[in-house]
Amino acid sequence: MRTPPLSSFCFCTVSESKLKKKPSKGKAKSSLPQHLCRRFSLDEIRVATNNFDSHLVLGKGGSAVVYKGLFDDGASVFAVKYLLLGSSRQKTLEDFRNEVQLLCQLRHQHILTLIGFCDEAEDEKIIVFNYMSKGSLFDHLHGTRYDPLPWKQRLEICIGAARGLHYLHAGAKRAIIHRDIKTKNILLDDQKISKIADFSLSKIGPFSLSNTPIRIELPPLDEIELETSRTRLFGTLGYVAPELFIDTTLVTEKSDVYSFGVVLLEVLC
């Protein structure tokens, strides 16, 4: 598979000192890359979601609720991910910054596009994405809302997701390890073009296509983590590479490849 041209990439950097700097009293300045995406006001988000109307909920998980949002007087339809801080407040805030900072660097046909974010309120963190009208690959494989996917379309969806994953691993100077590849995180647009989504657990590696694992520091356990005898494992049970049960602090691109293999098996079965 050919590596995409470097001219198609968009990079941003955020200084470590800015991330660690404590906000001053009053309205804190955002350390997130506003010049690469849109910063929404909380009022805009409330209007777009009809004050977070339950009838506009697209999906709900342990750490977030996703709403359908109508922006610019209904001219634009986006997905609004409202993060639930709960007891894992610090972890959720880190995931929010991580996802926004990562996605602002990525521009690819098979990666879910970041539109913007809202960090205006201290206890309300929101990420805005392109709206995927056909749901997730999981919905098509296991749900009753959609007709079964033809085999040709299944193949096209898998090839698209593979291209997106290859872009993450080989498209930049440093590989991006997704760490939670699964059918629920492969979304489909109105043309059923696949997009890899949910980068809250992702990590940036030292370089591309390396056989050398990267050692990562593990944040506290939350509802999507798995407990092992040695340490804490991140991802979704059934998709996690078996070697990570031995040492979860070592991660390579191969971990994602294993998870994608499980996705392919799920599509076939």
User: Do 127 and 163 reside in the same domain of the chain?
Assistant: no
User: Do 185 and 232 reside in the same domain of the chain?
Assistant: yes
Average pLDDT over residues 176-202: 94
User: Do 66 and 154 reside in the same domain of the chain?
Assistant: no
User: Do 161 and 110 reside in the same domain of the chain?
Assistant: no
- Whole domain around residue 74: which residue ranges? 34-131
- The CATH number that applies at residue 75 is 3.30.200.20
Decide if 94 is inside a domain: yes
Return the ∠ at Cα 226 (arms to 220 and 231), rounded to 5°.
60
Binding site for ATP, residues?
81
User: Do 144 and 42 reside in the same domain of the chain?
Assistant: no
Binding site, residues?
81
| One-letter identity of residue 7 | S
User: Do 142 and 120 reside in the same domain of the chain?
Assistant: no
What pLDDT is stored for residue 73 in this prediction?
A: 83
The residues near 94 (Cβ < 8 Å, ≥ 6 apart) are 219
- Would you say 86 and 224 are in contact if contact means Cβ atoms under 8 Å apart? no
Last residue within a domain, chosen from 91, 106, 131? 131
User: Do 191 and 163 reside in the same domain of the chain?
Assistant: yes
Decide if 6 is inside a domain: no
User: Do 264 and 137 reside in the same domain of the chain?
Assistant: yes
Q: Give the count of domains, the chain.
A: 2
Last residue within a domain, chosen from 131, 165, 184? 131
Task: Choose, from 53, 72, 119, 180, the residue flagged as catalytic.
Answer: 180
- The CATH number that applies at residue 253 is 1.10.510.10
Last residue within a domain, chosen from 70, 96, 131? 131
Decide if 143 is inside a domain: yes
Decide if 58 is inside a domain: yes
Average pLDDT over residues 229-248: 71
Decide if 210 is inside a domain: yes
Distance (Å, whole) CA 42 – CA 125: 9
What pLDDT is stored for residue 105 in this prediction?
A: 84
Decide if 196 is inside a domain: yes
User: Do 137 and 264 reside in the same domain of the chain?
Assistant: yes
Residue 213 vs residue 58, higher pLDDT: 58
User: Do 255 and 187 reside in the same domain of the chain?
Assistant: yes
Question: What pLDDT, in 10s, does the model give residues 160-176?
Answer: 999 999 999 998 667 89
Whole-number mean pLDDT of the chain?
80
User: Do 104 and 151 reside in the same domain of the chain?
Assistant: no
Decide if 8 is inside a domain: no
Residue 11 reports pLDDT greater than 80: no
What pLDDT is stored for residue 33 in this prediction?
A: 56
Residue from 125, 114, 260, 104 nearest 179 by CA: 260
Torsion, Cα of 267, 61, 134, 117 (10° steps)? -130
247 is a catalytic site residue: no
User: Do 98 and 218 reside in the same domain of the chain?
Assistant: no
Decide if 22 is inside a domain: no
Whole-model pTM? 0.77
